[in-house]
Amino acid sequence: MEEERLAQFRQMLLARRRSLGERVLRSGEYGRETEQNLADIGDMAVESYTRDFMFGKSADDRRVLQLVAEALARIEDGSYGTCTHCESEIQAKRLEAVPWTPLCIQCQQLQEQGLLQE
């Protein structure tokens, strides 16, 4: 991949890492505060609902954050843009939409169907 495009993807990934990192941090703080406030009120149903919601969301953020970190590592080692499974080139459009994806579209579909061999 050209240096210039690689630099663009690196910028996109760094920006995403920053915004996700802040969100993960904030959701952790939010979780703690909420737990305390709601314990005072004593509304356990609302508490567990809020906690499931916040933790579910931040688990997603954490997963993407991990993928972003791995994508940045692949930029550094020169393998970025290549499927980590079958080593074919990942479509440019796909990378633009999901710059942290490690898989080409075919492997992604297999993974979603649970058919991808690790």
Residues found near Zn ion in the complex (CB under 5 A): 83, 85-86, 104, 107
User: Which residue's CB is nearer to Zn ion, number 48 or number 91?
Assistant: 91
Q: Please, are residues 39 and 47 in contact by the beta-carbon 8 Å criterion? A: yes
- SS3 assignment, position 32: helix
Shortest distance, CB of residue 107 to Zn ion, whole angstroms? 3
Q: Please, are residues 34 and 43 in contact by the beta-carbon 8 Å criterion? A: no
Closest C-alpha among 31, 105, 81 to residue 61: 31
User: Which residue's CB is nearer to Zn ion, number 14 or number 86?
Assistant: 86
Q: Within a 13 Å sphere around the CA of 13, how many CA atoms are in the beta-carbon half?
A: 27
d(CA 103, CA 70): 12
Shortest distance, CB of residue 49 to Zn ion, whole angstroms? 39
User: Which residue's CB is nearer to Zn ion, number 34 or number 82?
Assistant: 82
Shortest distance, CB of residue 67 to Zn ion, whole angstroms? 15
User: Which residue's CB is nearer to Zn ion, number 51 or number 85?
Assistant: 85
Shortest distance, CB of residue 100 to Zn ion, whole angstroms? 15
d(CA 69, CA 63): 10
